[in-house]
């Protein structure tokens, strides 16, 4: 599989990059999470509320019922310029929960294909400029970290003993080491800043005055 980094993908990685620097690194599992997440959206665009609720569930360590409760209270204006985001529509709690789980399944499939040597080789062969290689570029440890993140949301059960970050500060030492709370916190920040840009909210507030 060769991931297609579309408009929303470019913004996701740009947002992530804005949090990082040579002296503020992150674990490679965060980059892989963002890539698999975006690939899932390219394959099947989603309602922004589904995307936001998924990100909340990631932040909460898989506590999907709580994520759905919080997600249903979101009334912010999303960035309508992304082809990967559908127009919002009303849905019940069960419907939202089911769609979030479906996004998790799609992200898991994308992640699996990113580590499949045969699949990657076939996809690369379709690009004339691509180098000939049988390498799979995702380390097993990083794959397992991302898989665990996805499975918690897919099964809708909070990881035992997991506590999400309660402040907005980023501990870059823990982020570089792949501490789950740090990785999930920044994943969610990046997703929210992408689909609900702060400047868009300011413009919306100004138009109401």
Task: Determine contact, residues 25/195, Cβ cutoff 8 Å.
Answer: no
pLDDT of residue 35: 92
| Residue 205, pLDDT above cutoff 60 | no
Query: Mean pLDDT, the chain, as a whole number?
Result: 86
d(CA 18, CA 8): 15
Segment 116-138 shows an average pLDDT of 59
The sign one gets for the Cα dihedral 3, 7, 13, 16 is negative
Instruction: Extract the tokens encoding 204.
Output: 């919306």
φ and ψ at residue 21, rounded to 5 degrees: -165, 170
Quickly state the pLDDT bin for 66 (edges 50, 70, 90): very high
Residue 191 pLDDT more than 60?
Answer: yes
- Residue 40 pLDDT greater than 80, yes or no: yes
**What pLDDT is recorded for position 62?**
96
pLDDT of residue 204: 52
192 pLDDT above the threshold of 80: yes
Dihedral (CA of 5, 7, 13, 17) sign: positive
- Checking if the pLDDT of 121 tops 60, the result is no
Q: How many CA atoms lie within 13 A of 4 on its CB side?
A: 11
- Cα–Cα distances (Å) from 117 to 43, 129, 155, in that order, read 20, 19, 27
């Amino acid at each position: 599989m060769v991931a297609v980094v579309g408009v929303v993908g470019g913004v996701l990685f740009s947002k992530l990059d804005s949090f990082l620097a040579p002296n503020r690194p992150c674990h490679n599992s965060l980059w892989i999470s963002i890539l698999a997440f975006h690939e899932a959206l390219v394959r099947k665009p989603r309602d922004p509320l589904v995307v936001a609720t998924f990100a909340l569930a990631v932040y909460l360590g898989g506590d999907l019922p709580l994520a759905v409760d919080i997600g249903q209270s979101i009334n912010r204006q999303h960035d309508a310029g992304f082809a990967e985001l559908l127009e919002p529509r009303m849905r019940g709690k069960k419907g939202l929960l089911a769609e979030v789980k479906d996004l998790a399944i799609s992200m898991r499939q994308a992640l699996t294909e990113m580590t499949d040597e045969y699949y990657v080789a076939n996809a690369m062969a379709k690009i004339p400029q691509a180098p000939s290689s049988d390498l799979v570029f995702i380390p097993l440890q990083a794959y397992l970290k991302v898989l665990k993140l996805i499975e918690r949301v897919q099964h809708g059960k909070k990881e035992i003993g997991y506590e999400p970050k309660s402040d907005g500060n980023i501990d870059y030492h823990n982020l570089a080491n792949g501490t789950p709370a740090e990785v999930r916190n920044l994943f969610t920040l990046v997703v929210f800043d992408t689909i609900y840009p702060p400047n868009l909210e300011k413009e919306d507030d100004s138009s109401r005055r």
